[in-house]
Amino acid sequence: MAQTTSPPRTVEPAANAQALPVHVPPVDELTEAQLRGHRCVWCANPLDPDRCIDLGERIAEDGYRCFPRACTICTVAMVHAQLVEHSATCEQCVDDGTLCAETAELRRTLRDGRRL
pLDDT of residue 116: 62
5 domain residue, yes or no: no
**C-alpha count within 13 angstroms, C-beta hemisphere, residue 36:** 6
Output the tens digit of pLDDT for each of the chain's 116 residues.
Answer: 444 444 444 444 444 344 567 889 988 889 999 999 999 999 999 999 889 999 988 887 788 888 999 999 999 999 999 999 998 899 988 888 788 999 998 998 888 888 76
Strand extents, DSSP E, the chain? 11-13, 52-54, 58-60, 65-66, 69-71
Number of domains in the chain: 1
109 domain residue, yes or no: yes
4 domain residue, yes or no: no
pLDDT of residue 33: 94
pLDDT of residue 72: 92
Domain assignment of residue 62, given as a range = 11-115
Residue 12: how many other CB atoms lie within 10 Å: 13
